[in-house]
Amino acid sequence: MTRWFLIAGVSGALLVAVRFPRILELLTTPAPGTVLPAIGALALPAAAFAGWYWSRRGHSSTQDVWGRLIASKSFLTGAGVVATLGLAALLAPVLTSYNPNAQPDILGAATLRPSWAHPFGTDFFSRDLLSRVLYGARWSLGIALVAVTLLVVVGTAAGILAGWAGGIVDAVVMRIVDAGIAIPRILLLLVIAALWGNLNFFALATLLGLTGWFGLSRIVRAEVLSLKQRPFLHAARALGISRRRMVTHHLLPNLAAPITVTAALGVGNIVLTEASLSYLGVGAPPPDPGWGNIIRESTSIILSAPWVAFFPGVAIFLTVVGFSLIGDSLRSALNPQAR
């Protein structure tokens, strides 16, 4: 296993070194602002896990968790899929020489079948589908990062607030959560889209994050309530430890496990929801290639050129599978009793 990581690392470093100027130039084009979030989308669950790992580095159970993860086939598969997609998003300009939005020959080169020149074929506007799917990864993963970060922050804060404060605060926050869960999410997002009109990258990401935290806040609240019952918090209170210190030193380390799992599964969920919105035409603004967008544009030509709908769907599918595998294996590694 270590050997393969080494080989992958060295060849990746070589590739970066050789093509560095071009990479730098192309990282920011043609969809500026979407590449850094794409890196982060991959880094986030890793960072959350690292944070958890660091906060408990002394515990022997931490070693067990890491051991179980490394031994888990589904974790390695998921991590492999996600790493590949992330690299593909980052290295899109290196992997393909086509501009994803360029329409070189709208009459002669439209809806070409997959070939060596265009491995995924071309779409109705003669754009290269492979490059659109690769650049689409930047958009979709980037949105997912911003949204999941927001979701984790808001959901954790609301859950801690409700669980810690109790009483009327708890009741109000949890009724809002109930209401948020009761509105079918796509309908809620359609309402907002109808009112606001076109949404840009960050607006869309914010929207997805702010409509996705309800489930997490319930988990966090339940965790806070059960922690409040445990003797060590009474002990800490008896020792006169400040409330802030109790939150940062006792509560957050214990919450890290459920939050990490939710974040990993949340990425897949956000990717699906964003693609759904874009498919309905209220997500990614054309012509930028979000995966949902590409599928929406393919529906009119689905009979003559089914590959245009097929490949971006596979990309979404792989992303969700990858993050689900990571999330599920994290969950079972973090609480081995549960099956």
Partner 1 sequence: MTRFLVRRILHSVAIVFIVATITFLLVHIAPGDPATAQFRDRPVSPEIVAQYRRDWGLDRPLYQQYLSYLSNIARGNLGQSFSLNRPVSEVVLQALPNTVFLAVAALGISFAVGIVIGTAQGATPNSRFDHTLTAATLAVFSMPIFWFGLMMMLVFGQWLGWFPVSGATSPVYSALPFLGRVADRLHHLVLPALTLGLGGSAVVARFHRAEIAEAFAQDFIRTARAKGLSERDVVLRHALRNALLPAITMLGLSLPVLFSGAVLVEHVFAWHGMGLAAFDAVARRDYNVVTAIALFGAIMVVIGNVVADLAYRRVDPRTRAS
Rounded Cα distance between 339 and 337, Å, is 6
Q: Which of 217, 293, 324, 329 binds partner 1 (CB under 8 A)?
A: 324
The radius of gyration of the chain's CA atoms, rounded to the nearest angstrom, is 22
* DSSP labels, 100-139: TT--S-TTTSTTPPP-SSSTT-B-TT--BHHHHHHHHHHH
Contact 247, 238 (CB under 8 A): no
* Shortest distance (Å) from residue 282 CB to partner 1: 6
Considering the complex, state which of residue 17 and residue 187 has its C-beta at the smaller distance from partner 1: 187
Determine, following the binding rule CB under 8 A, whether residue 76 of this chain makes contact with partner 1.
no
Listed in sequence order, the residues at least 6 apart from 205 whose beta carbon sits closer than 8 Å to its beta carbon are: 37, 142, 143, 145, 146, 147, 150
Give me 240's structure tokens: 């006169």
* Shortest distance (Å) from residue 272 CB to partner 1: 6
Please provide residue 126's backbone torsions phi and psi, each rounded to the nearest 5 degrees.
70, 15
Please provide residue 303's backbone torsions phi and psi, each rounded to the nearest 5 degrees.
-75, -40
Determine, following the binding rule CB under 8 A, whether residue 339 of this chain makes contact with partner 1.
yes
Determine, following the binding rule CB under 8 A, whether residue 179 of this chain makes contact with partner 1.
yes
Determine, following the binding rule CB under 8 A, whether residue 281 of this chain makes contact with partner 1.
yes
Determine, following the binding rule CB under 8 A, whether residue 181 of this chain makes contact with partner 1.
yes
Contact stretch for partner 1 (CB under 8 A) within 5-13, 27-35, 146-154, 318-326: 318-326
Q: Which of 108, 167, 184, 240 binds partner 1 (CB under 8 A)?
A: 184
Residue 252 exposed, middle or buried by CB count within 10 Å (0-12, 13-18, 19+) = middle
Residue 284 exposed, middle or buried by CB count within 10 Å (0-12, 13-18, 19+) = buried
Give me 125's structure tokens: 């506007």
Q: Which of 276, 286, 287, 331 binds partner 1 (CB under 8 A)?
A: 276
Determine, following the binding rule CB under 8 A, whether residue 330 of this chain makes contact with partner 1.
no
Query: Binding-site residue total for partner 1 (CB under 8 A)?
Result: 45
Q: Which of residues 239-268 bind partner 1 (CB under 8 A)?
A: 268
Determine, following the binding rule CB under 8 A, whether residue 321 of this chain makes contact with partner 1.
yes
Contact stretch for partner 1 (CB under 8 A) within 49-57, 118-126, 155-163, 306-314: 306-314
Interface pattern 191-220 for partner 1 (x via CB under 8 A): xxxxxxx-----------------------
Q: How many CB atoms lie within 10 A of CB 74?
A: 16
Chain contacts with partner 1 (rule: CB under 8 A): 175-176, 178-188, 190-197, 268, 272, 275-276, 279-282, 292, 295, 299, 302-303, 306, 309-310, 313, 316-317, 320-321, 324-325, 339
